[in-house]
Amino acid sequence: MMDEGIGRVSQIIPQMPALEARLCRLMLMLGDDIEEELEFKLKPHKLNHSEFLTLMILYSRPDGSSTPGELCEYATQGATNMTRIANALVKRGLITRGASEEDRRRVLIRITPAGRRFVQKMLPPMFPRVATMFAGFSDTDKRHLDRLLRKLAGNLDQLSESRQP
Amino acid sequence: MMDEGIGRVSQIIPQMPALEARLCRLMLMLGDDIEEELEFKLKPHKLNHSEFLTLMILYSRPDGSSTPGELCEYATQGATNMTRIANALVKRGLITRGASEEDRRRVLIRITPAGRRFVQKMLPPMFPRVATMFAGFSDTDKRHLDRLLRKLAGNLDQLSESRQP
DNA sequence: ATTTTTTAATTCACTAGTGAAATATGAATC
DNA sequence: GATTCATATTTCACTAGTGAATTAAAAAAT
């Protein structure tokens, strides 16, 4: 369906990089599909993607703590949104928010023991469906995919730098 | 950075499919990156992604017309949002909206000559950066990537059917 | 030592997208 | 042929995320 669409457009505008455009479109569709699958798994826990990601970042830190600014960077979220995310997670007792000693502009965010238990409980049931996503992929397939995606990521990185350096 | 995070989590929870989780995360990041790049190219034309996609679907149809319901399906948008998208495009004179003759529940959406000209003018300047995204990709790389992404899409399709059939 | 500049987080007003209900027409059933 | 059921679109109330302005503290400049 998408293939036919791109085909017809590239017949009218032949200088279009049709193959590349198709790959772009595929990546966008897959990104949406994976996001949808993820949100489906998160819904029972009343978490959305960015809250989950933020919580996982904290969980994966050796000391379980970070600052809003750092979390923004790693979760690629605006500071505005991080405030809301932190509000939501604090309300549920999964993280705490306190003032930093050294730099009083900073806020210190820390995952709570309850937050750790929550992650450890919710994660395992997600595994089977993640594995299913890559059913029929050989180890070589996965390695190839990883390599190609990282190459693409590198190119996109350059493009993003060329936007506002 | 993400690799270390997943590494630490999979040390605590060893039954996690770490490789697959990493590929998921990569796909999500790349989807966001490509979306960002696309929105950047669309901004000067005051279009967002879903408006652009809707317009392109109409452009690529042989007769240049469709209905809201059909557009929802192809653009994977809710009906609610399609109403807003159509409103925006009508306002700019890129599409028209009229009642269907056969089925008066239906609305007929059609790209205007101005809409066609608009697409033909805005598309070519986007090509260089699309090509750059795949710089360093051999033809084999692109074929492989296409194959792997389609396989992944197939698996995700199955998963989505298992959600609410 | 005071002023200026920079950095960090938050609040506010907005855009984009979703789910549930409303409206209206067509199709099916009795 | 009236009633029930299904389909198509829109409206309304909500969630998620963004940009601009605000507040406050630290760092740099004078």
| Spatial distance from the CA of B79 to the C1' of C21 (Å) | 14
The mean pLDDT of chain A is: 96
What is the model's pLDDT at position B165?
62
Residue B163 banded pLDDT, cuts 50, 70, 90: confident
Measured to protein CB atoms, the chain D nucleotides within 7 Å are: 7-13, 15-20, 24-27
> Which among B6, B13, B32 has CB closest to A120?
B13
CB contact under 8 A, A36 and B160: yes
By C1' distance from the Cα of A109, the closest nucleotide is C9
Q: What share of chain B in percent tops pLDDT 90?
A: 92
Nearest-neighbour CA in chain A from B133: distance (Å): 5
Nearest CA to A32 among B153, B56, B57, B154?
B153
To test the contact with chain A by mutation, choose from B117, B132, B138 the residue with the greatest count of A C-beta atoms within 10 A, namely B132
Tens-digit pLDDT profile for residues B35-82: 999 999 999 999 999 999 999 999 999 999 999 999 999 999 999 999
Of B12, B34, B146, which has the smallest distance from its Cβ to A156's Cβ?
B34
Global pTM value: 0.94
Q: How many CA atoms lie within 13 A of B148 on its CB side?
A: 23
Predicted pLDDT at B104: 86
Tens digit of each residue's pLDDT (9 = 90 or more) over B26-38: 999 999 999 999 9
For chain B, what is the radius of gyration of the CA atoms? 20
With pLDDT > 90 as the criterion, what percentage of chain A qualifies?
95
Asked if the model's pLDDT at residue A48 lies above 70, the reply is yes
